[in-house]
Amino acid sequence: MLTRKGQRAPSPEISRQTKLNALDMCAMGYTNAHVANVFGISKRTIQRARRKLRIYGDVEGGRRRSGPKPQFRAETLDVMPLKRC
């Protein structure tokens, strides 16, 4: 949407909970397009939230996770069933 001076108006703030709920639906198997339609947000918002969750550990972003990536111990792998895709 454009303002009177032809500038772009800021989009309304999307709550953290809305983003989390949208990602939950995506995890259930719904498409980004369907989820975006349900919540009234863009597909790009879902993509950004997923990326921020992966990189920063939160849908709002913030600081990059520090330290080594978590690794599974042998005992954990013995307990966890592994799925083949």
**Tell me: the pLDDT tens digits for 24-83?**
999 999 999 999 999 999 999 999 999 999 888 888 877 666 677 767 776 666 665 656
Inter-residue contact 39 to 18 (CB < 8 Å): yes
Residue 50 within a domain: yes
Task: Indicate the SS3 state at residue 65.
Answer: coil
Q: What is the pTM of this model?
A: 0.62
Residue 7 within a domain: no
Residue 39 within a domain: yes
Task: Name the residue range of residue 43's domain.
Answer: 16-62
Residue 58 within a domain: yes
Residue 28 within a domain: yes
Residue 25 within a domain: yes
Residue 3 within a domain: no
Task: Indicate the SS3 state at residue 2.
Answer: strand
pLDDT of residue 58: 87
Q: Work out how many domains the chain is built from and give that number.
A: 1
pLDDT of residue 1: 55
pLDDT tier for residue 12 given thresholds of 50, 70 and 90 = confident
Residue 13 has pLDDT above 70, yes or no: yes
Residue 78 within a domain: no
